[in-house]
Amino acid sequence: MALRVTFVAAARSSPLLAERFDDDRPLDRAGWDEVLRVTGALLPLAAAELRYCSPTPRSRATGDAIGVSPLVQLALRECDMGRWRGLTLGEAMAREPAAVDAWLADPRTAPHGGESLSAFITRVGSWLDTRPGEDGDRIVAVAEPSVVRAALVHALNAPPSTYWNLDVRPLSTAVVTGRAGRWNLRFESAAA
């Protein structure tokens, strides 16, 4: 047996095009409405032996709304975006187009003065690899979509550039099973 970690992407706090780096805003009305629509389907996750969340208000609120009552984990915070914190990608591009291009092209760079994409993936992956638990234990982690993407890149042992190819929507779930160094992405039927 292995650990089973279910990641739940937090509900939204703004429309997709208005998403900001390191966004600390609470759930917006649409986010609350979305959580209420899926609460029944996600309620079984509350039976997990260990329940965690990102430190953002929307991750905590999402976890509480689906009955998980998660423990905040600083390692599940979003990527430190330095001076781009609070900006949309479009705003950062308008201010520093060459820096944004460099950041998108090379996962080891941090032209914004914060954390590189590679360092972010490593931090989230280290959190995943150090989860306590017995064989068969279920863990749930409610986190920002960016954190879920980083966890999946790590779990699949994929190159950091894969991060840009993963589309994690609010309130979507992803399950990985295994242990440190050997994770598998698991797809389940709707009946599961």
Give pTM, 2 decimals: 0.92
Mean pLDDT, the chain cut into blocks of 10 residues (192 residues total): 91 70 82 90 91 95 92 96 93 96 96 97 97 87 96 97 94 94 83 50
- Could you give the CA distance from residue 187 to residue 34 in angstroms, rounded to a whole number? 22
- Number of other residues whose CB lies within 10 A of the CB of residue 172: 13
Three-state SS at 51: strand
Alpha helix ranges (H) inside 43-144: 57-65, 89-95, 97-105, 117-129
Helix (H, G, I), strand (E, B) or coil at 186: strand
Closest CA relative to residue 2, chosen from 138, 169, 124, 170: 138
Q: What is the pLDDT of residue 187?
A: 84
Residue 72 near residue 60, CB atoms below 8 Å: yes
- Please report the pLDDT score of residue 134 as a whole number: 80
Q: Which amino acid is at 163?
A: Y
